[in-house]
Amino acid sequence: MICIDLEASGLALDSYPIEIAWACTETGRSDSSLINPASVPSWTYWDEFAEELHGIEPELLQQDGISVKQACARLNQALKGEQVISDAYDYDSFWLRRLYRAAGVRPGFTLVGLDAVLSGEQRIQYQFIARTQFRRHRAMQDVEDLISAIRTVLYESPER
């Protein structure tokens, strides 16, 4: 199972991804990247409330972030042909589309929602578990929480 999470500059239509992390439960492989919005001239929108949630400052992105082309190449190389799970499919697919369009390439993996691995009843259980987690809104920490919640549901669910 491979899970992914993205953090963004905000939730508006002008928002863009600023951090991406993924982890594979079977191999233990994982990766996390900050994205430098300066690599895309039109990426200027910044929501200070979102910054308060994730704690990522624009200066950190400029200093430590990689370009959108580097981010896409890294994701495609690591996740080629894989099905990658998001617990916020609508948001994450929006930001991944923005990332890949800005880089002028296509994703080499398929993003899926929780419905690809959990039944309807299990997704309700997942929501209860996720609400009890303290989400820090940093991508890798959220991926770890996502994996933990899915494992809890799959382990405790009578549908296994």
Does residue 157 sit within a domain? no
- Which residues are within 8 A (CB) of 135 and not within 5 positions of it... i.e. 6 or more apart? 141, 142, 145
Does residue 153 sit within a domain? no
Q: What is the CATH number of the domain that holds 9?
A: 3.30.420.10
Does residue 133 sit within a domain? no
For residue 74, give both structure tokens.
Answer: 């890294």
Question: Is pTM beyond 0.85 here?
Answer: yes
135: confidence class by pLDDT, cuts 50, 70, 90:
low
The predicted pLDDT at position 160 comes to 47
For residue 141, give both structure tokens.
Answer: 């920490």
Does residue 138 sit within a domain? no
Does residue 119 sit within a domain? no
> What is the tens place of the pLDDT at every residue in 42-97?
999 999 999 998 999 999 999 999 999 999 999 999 999 999 999 999 999 999 99
Does residue 22 sit within a domain? yes
Does residue 139 sit within a domain? no
Whether 133 has a pLDDT exceeding 60, the answer reads yes
> What is the tens place of the pLDDT at every residue in 32-47?
999 999 999 999 999 9
Dihedral sign, Cα of residue 61, residue 67, residue 72, residue 78: negative
Q: How many domains does the chain have?
A: 1
Nearest to 85 by CA among 126, 114, 127: 114
The predicted pLDDT at position 158 comes to 54
Q: Are 2 and 87 in contact (CB under 8 A)?
A: no
**Which residues form the domain of 87?**
2-113
